[in-house]
Amino acid sequence: MDLDQPDTWPPTLDRIEQVFFVGDARPRFAETSGALAAAARRAGARRLVKLSAFGADFAPEFLIAGSHRALDQAIEASGIAWTHLRPNVWMQNLVKYDHEPIRREGRFQLIQGGRQGELHRPAERLTVLTRPGHEAKVYTLTGPQALTYADAARLLSQATGGRIIHVPLTEEEAPPARPCGRGPGIPGEGPRTMDAFGCSGRFARVTPDLERLAEPKPIIFERFARDHAKAYQP
Ligand SMILES: NC(=O)c1ccc[n+]([C@@H]2O[C@H](COP(=O)([O-])OP(=O)(O)OC[C@H]3O[C@@H](n4cnc5c(N)ncnc54)[C@H](OP(=O)(O)O)[C@@H]3O)[C@@H](O)[C@H]2O)c1
């Protein structure tokens, strides 16, 4: 289904009991989120589980966090039972966005953040959320450790047997207006990215929520680096 095309929603929502909503964090999705939640409710869905973002509750001044907060509020206002998942930064970003520069040059460039929590494949691992008892709950999902990008570079180096370094960028050096510090920009939004959020040190929180909800248990970055070592080899 296309979130921008409401006429594509009904066939997807037909006979659906629960919706797991993953979108991007464009502010325009707030209206869409509310409309989708209302359509799901009308179609008979019992609950909508929304993939939100770390900081949506306490740091709305940062682009992604603030956008997700608006999306989440629109869902809550729709009247459907909801659960919000608020993950910290994903390990997979370092494969999805950074494996090419690492493979080519042995380095990746990101704003130097504070320590960041870790997460591994949240959607696959949270089958517990198909069970009842999670209505009107917010889960803040982090891995078991807080790491810096320098820590990640060291662990990737160990796993690959090569030398991988993190090149810290200042907020001024980073390309502006990129949600999550990458991808297409949101015009006029400025550099209030999640990486800037990381710089504030506010990513460093580690919570027990993922450990409690995930089956099997979340892995640590060292294991992730070993599992994905091939992606970084020249
Ligand atoms: N990456 C992180 O570290 C991180 C951390 C916390 C929260 N999050 C949040 O998790 C969500 C996914 O993040 P991501 O990093 O995987 O971002 P992403 O790669 O940009 O994924 C965006 C998702 O939204 C879907 N989407 C976008 N426009 C759509 C449309 N018009 N109709 C239907 N689906 C649409 C995409 O579907 P297609 O794949 O079909 O295009 C994709 O599944 C975002 O809301 C992000 O803010 C990410």
The domain 89-118+143-234 having CATH identifier 3.40.50.720: the answer here is yes
| Atom 24, ligand 1: residue with shortest CA distance | 23
pLDDT value at residue 187:
46
pLDDT value at residue 34:
96
Task: Indicate which atom in ligand 1 lies nearest the CA of residue 3.
Answer: 32
Tokens 């740091």 map to which residue?
Answer: 59
Residue 77 Cβ < 6 Å to ligand 1: no
pLDDT value at residue 30:
87
Q: Please state the domain extents for the chain.
A: 1-87, 89-118+143-234
How far is the centre of ligand 1, averaged over its atoms, from the C-alpha of 23 (Å)? Answer: 4
Classify domain 1-87 by CATH number. 3.40.50.720
Task: Indicate which atom in ligand 1 lies nearest the CA of residue 87.
Answer: 6
Q: Which of 5, 12, 22, 86 to mutate to test the pocket of ligand 1 (most atoms within 8 A of CB)?
A: 22
pLDDT value at residue 177:
42
Residue 91 Cβ < 6 Å to ligand 1: no
| Atom 36, ligand 1: residue with shortest CA distance | 23
Same fold, 1-87 and 89-118+143-234: yes
Residue by residue, pLDDT tens for the chain (234 residues) are: 999 999 999 999 999 999 999 988 777 788 999 999 999 999 999 999 999 998 899 888 777 788 899 999 999 999 999 999 998 888 888 888 889 999 999 998 876 655 565 655 555 567 667 788 999 999 999 888 888 888 999 999 999 999 999 888 776 666 544 444 444 444 444 444 555 566 666 777 889 998 888 877 888 899 999 999 999 987
pLDDT value at residue 88:
85
Residue 51 Cβ < 6 Å to ligand 1: yes
Secondary-structure breakdown of the chain: helix, strand, coil percentages, each rounded to the nearest 5: 40, 15, 45
Report the alpha-carbon distance of residue 204 to residue 93 in Å, rounded: 17
pLDDT value at residue 175:
56
CA–CA–CA angle 87, 223, 24 (5° rounding) = 25
Between the CA of residue 151 and those of 154, 155, 161, 164, 180, what are the distances in Å? 5, 6, 15, 11, 20
How far is the centre of ligand 1, averaged over its atoms, from the C-alpha of 24 (Å)? Answer: 4
Residue 4 Cβ < 6 Å to ligand 1: yes
pLDDT value at residue 41:
97
pLDDT value at residue 182:
40
Residue 141 Cβ < 6 Å to ligand 1: no
Contacts of 189 (CB under 8 A, 6+ apart): 63, 177, 179
How far is the centre of ligand 1, averaged over its atoms, from the C-alpha of 84 (Å)? Answer: 15
pLDDT value at residue 194:
57
Instruction: With beta carbons less than 8 A apart as the criterion, state whether 210 and 141 touch.
Output: yes
